[in-house]
Amino acid sequence: MEDGASSSNISNRKYDGKTTLQSVGEVDARKASNLKVGDIIMYNYGHTAKITKIEPSKTGKTFNVTTKSSESGYIGERKYNANSMVGIAEKEAKNYKEQMLLSFKKGKR
In a domain, 88, yes or no: yes
In a domain, 61, yes or no: yes
Q: Considering only CA atoms, which of 45, 46, 86, 47 is closest in space to residue 63? A: 86
Collapse the DSSP code of 85 into the 3-class scheme (helix H, G, I; strand E, B; otherwise coil) and give the result. strand
Q: pLDDT tens-digit profile of 59-89?
A: 999 999 999 998 889 999 999 999 999 999 8
In a domain, 1, yes or no: no
In a domain, 5, yes or no: no
Q: What is the pTM of this model?
A: 0.77
Q: What span, in angstroms and rounded, lies between the C-alpha atoms of 4 and 14?
A: 23
User: 16 or 71, which is more confident?
Assistant: 16
> Given this model, what pLDDT does residue 96 score?
56
Q: pLDDT tens-digit profile of 27-52?
A: 899 999 999 999 999 888 888 899 99
Question: Where residue 13 falls among pLDDT bands split at 50, 70, 90?
Answer: confident
Task: Find the domain containing 85 and state its range.
Answer: 10-105
Q: For the chain, what is the domain count?
A: 1
> Given this model, what pLDDT does residue 26 score?
86
Read off the CATH number of the domain in which 75 is found.
2.30.30.30
